[in-house]
Amino acid sequence: MNGNPIIKLGNTGVYIVTDLGKMAVFMLKAFRGVFRHPFRMKELIRQVHFIGVGSLAVIFFTAASTGMVLGLQGYYSLNKFGAEGMLGSAVSLTLIMELGPVLTALMVAGRAGSAMCAELGIMRISEQIDALDCMAIDPFRYFITPKFLAALISVPLLTAVFDVVGIAGGYVAGVGLMGVSPGAYIQGMQSSVTNHDIQLGIIKSFVFALLVVWICTGRGYFVREIRGAGFGAESVSRVTTQAVVLSSISVLIFDYLLTAVLL
């Protein structure tokens, strides 16, 4: 009877709905942890350091190379229309509204998200989370809430760093290498970037931060309950891969949705 495709489909449907429900409750509990006493400030600072400061180098390099490629590519395209004066506005708008938030979130998912997922997964399979529960210490307040808050603080700041470094990279490539006028680059940027564009970028970075930390910590926390994950060390490695892929895809999907709604 288990070969019946309708039953399989039904089981999969039930699994997905249950999983989404558990993840929703997981997020609510993570936010409830903010109001539980005592709040662990030190852990929050440690996590901001891990997600934020720890990701600075990778963000810096990604932003610089992205900005420089945009500078070259933009110059090549705009030059065809004799509009290379628009390079500053093209580079800065692309970075602030799209590439800054998206690439920052993808980098954080790969670097910090994977680490958070693996950490929670290992804590789960070695019964450390059960041990916290048994000592009546709320695991959310203890170490999941600080991760949520740290991501919501760090990712928007990293996005800002990404934007600035990327725009500087575009300047180096466009002005330094291709000979665009520095005044035109800066002027183009100042005249075309509006508050609304920056707000869109900030909203995106908050939403992406939430998606990444939610999916990565949630997958690790529920490592034992994920279908097809297997057991032991293998389950943690599979679930970590799944978490990074799932959070990256959600970032891209939400990027489109947010752009469509807010632009």
Partner 1 sequence: MPSAIDFRNVVKTFAKKNGELQSVLNGVSFSIPAGKTTVIAGGSGQGKSVTLKLVLGLMQADAGQVFVHDQDITRARGREMERLRTQFGVLFQGSALFDSLTVFENVALPLRERTEKSEAEIKTLVEGALAQFELSGHEEKYPAQLSGGMQKRVGLARAMQLKPSIMLFDEPTTGLDPVMTREIYHLFARTQAEFGFTSVIVSHDIPKIFNLADQVIILNNGEMDVFGSPEEIQWSEKPHIQEFVKMTMGDIYQSHLVEK
Contact positions toward partner 1, by CB under 8 A?
Answer: 1-2, 11, 123, 126-128, 130-131, 133-138, 142
220, 117 contact by CB (below 8 A): yes
Q: How far is the first Cα of the chain from the last one, in angstroms, to the nearest whole number?
A: 50
Q: Residue 38, preceding bond cis, omega within 30 degrees?
A: yes
Between 180 and 236, whose beta carbon lies closer to partner 1? Answer: 236
What value does the CA radius of gyration of the chain take, rounded to a whole number of Å? 22
CA–CA distances in Å: residue 110 to residues 59, 192, 200, 245: 12, 32, 23, 9
Between 37 and 80, whose beta carbon lies closer to partner 1? Answer: 37
Between 141 and 204, whose beta carbon lies closer to partner 1? Answer: 141
Min CB(137)–partner 1 separation in Å: 5
Q: Distance between CA atoms of 209 and 193, rounded to whole angstroms? A: 23
Min CB(247)–partner 1 separation in Å: 23
Is 46 exposed, middle or buried (CB count within 10 Å of its CB: 0-12, 13-18, 19+)? middle
Q: Distance between CA atoms of 69 and 250, rounded to whole angstroms? A: 25
Between 73 and 128, whose beta carbon lies closer to partner 1? Answer: 128
Min CB(122)–partner 1 separation in Å: 8
Between 41 and 136, whose beta carbon lies closer to partner 1? Answer: 136
Q: Distance between CA atoms of 151 and 254, rounded to whole angstroms? A: 17
Min CB(87)–partner 1 separation in Å: 48
Min CB(228)–partner 1 separation in Å: 10
Between 36 and 111, whose beta carbon lies closer to partner 1? Answer: 36
Min CB(141)–partner 1 separation in Å: 9
Min CB(123)–partner 1 separation in Å: 8
Crossing angle (nearest 10°) for helices 100-108 and 232-262: 170
> What is the number of other CB atoms lying within 10 angstroms of the CB of residue 14?
10
Between 4 and 190, whose beta carbon lies closer to partner 1? Answer: 4
